[in-house]
Structure 1
């Protein structure tokens, strides 16, 4: 409750959370909110400007840009969030086990993490796309296979801070099972750290999936996706720059919202960060008030 109260006091965090929830809601209700089908082609409306029927205009095939932006939330955000959830769940499971039991299990998990983290994500993703073919599913699968190691290492470090606590030792002495200890004592105190890791990774994954789609390696036509919309509009970026504006701003806004919310969680968990931020702001205000002769 204290964590939620500290986050609620941060106006930027509240605004970011509202943006995130609004985007998720619009994406989930896309068939009911979208004014037109996203793949409806009308060459008579090719490169048409904004109107009451098409608020953001039409693309090179006469498709509604607003509808495609709305439907683009699903692969760009919702599907990425699903892949992130699987990665975090797998990393949390292995990280909890490694940090709590330690010994051989910890050594095996950490060596697996070392092997997975030794390969750049982009290189391994491109390799999987080359082997399995282009498509958003293959890219998301590559994200799951590569990013779980990063989550496992961070969560394992967090678990080791609490595994030797007195209340954990007391629970062991009373005969409580390891599974119950992990569920009742270890997992609740590591959930904030997991939330920070997940929220910070979400923004980067959105940018990565949009980048791969921009290169033509992600979701394929006629499906809508923000990165692919940028790719489709780059041919007329100088004559019709407004075609890149809507998907570009959507990517920036959602990625920034997740990053700001992640920073807010970190500040709420560590009051020292908030104190240092206030100190820097005070120095800046004092510097502005200084008058020179």
Structure 2
């Protein structure tokens, strides 16, 4: 990021709030074992379905497990899912988009037709179908979400490369004998990196939401994993008698996604030269 973009980010109050929240959540995830008051997987049938109290600040679930401890450990899992999915999607989509945009012709046609086919299906429906085929698990869910999210990176990078490939610096590199791969990875991709960073920030938020949805349906994290979507799924039968079991993970998901979106919006404004004054 340039100094102008950094200054613009620092002046954005929403962005700074989002950064503060994410830094707090990262610290919670890193030090979950220290912060959590109880073992999130330890059952206590003598204290099951207790309301919030001084001993259990958010109460206990149907197995007597401390809800606050499970929420804290769920931070680690949800953030890991978001980052892992974004990395997988970028690793697939960015090179494919660059190759399609630079070479054009048949290569571009094949890659973009695959993208069009995948985009014909609603994202969450496609993810549900693929996880159901691969088998419900945390690892399969991350691979599937990354495997269906790369199409957005491909479309984005392809469009940027198409606009850049006839620029003077590309023509000069080609005239000096640089190979196509060198031009793509050393000259073109660094110039589209800002847009990719913005897309990645939104991808993390989308992945956390999608993972929570799949876990709620029983296709993601499996019991007894402390994951926010799975916690929502377990709590749906107790919404009338213990609403905190649903409210706590729901609020955690909302705050996390909102904070990431604040950062993404600020990055887009700071890195877009057309929006700079």
Give, in whole Å, the separation in 1 of the partners of 2:276 and 2:168. 29
CA apart distance, 1:191: 0.9
Give, in whole Å, the separation in 1 of the partners of 2:29 and 2:57. 18
Give, in whole Å, the separation in 2 of the partners of 1:22 and 1:261. 14
For 1:181, which of 179, 183, 200 is the aligned residue?
A: 183
Deviates most, 168-177 or 223-232: 168-177
Unmatched segments (≥5 aa) in structure 2: none
Give, in whole Å, the separation in 2 of the partners of 1:163 and 1:102. 11
> Is the 1:27–1:78 contact (alpha carbons within 8 Å) kept by the matching residues of 2?
no
**What RMSD, in angstroms, separates the aligned Cα atoms of the two structures?**
2.0
Give, in whole Å, the separation in 2 of the partners of 1:188 and 1:37. 45
CA apart distance, 1:216: 1.9
Higher radius of gyration, 1 or 2: 1
Q: Secondary structure of 1:48's match?
A: coil
Give, in whole Å, the separation in 1 of the partners of 2:275 and 2:173. 33
Match of 1:282 in 2: none
> Is the 2:82–2:205 contact (alpha carbons within 8 Å) kept by the matching residues of 1?
no
1:8-87 matched pairs, under 5 angstroms? 8-87=10-89
Over residues 31-68 of structure 1, what are the superposed CA-to-partner deviations in whole Å (9 max), with x where a residue is unaligned? 33322211111122222333444332222211111110
Q: Secondary structure of 1:204's match?
A: helix
1:142-221 matched pairs, under 5 angstroms? 142-221=144-223
Q: Secondary structure of 1:218's match?
A: coil
Q: Secondary structure of 1:38's match?
A: coil
CA apart distance, 1:189: 1.6
Give, in whole Å, the separation in 2 of the partners of 1:23 and 1:6. 24
Give, in whole Å, the separation in 1 of the partners of 2:163 and 2:8. 23
Match of 1:287 in 2: none
CA apart distance, 1:129: 3.1
Give the TM-score, by structure 2 length.
0.91
For 1:239, which of 238, 241, 264 is the aligned residue?
A: 241
CA apart distance, 1:126: 2.4
Deviates most, 232-241 or 174-183: 174-183
Over residues 203-251 of structure 1, what are the superposed CA-to-partner deviations in whole Å (9 max), with x where a residue is unaligned? 2221111112112222111111111111222222122212222211100
Q: Secondary structure of 1:216's match?
A: coil
Give the TM-score, by structure 1 length.
0.86
Match of 2:225 in 1: 223
CA apart distance, 1:86: 0.8
Over residues 93-130 of structure 1, what are the superposed CA-to-partner deviations in whole Å (9 max), with x where a residue is unaligned? 11111112222222221122122222222222222233
**How many matched pairs?**
275
Match of 1:95 in 2: 97
Give, in whole Å, the separation in 2 of the partners of 1:114 and 1:238. 44
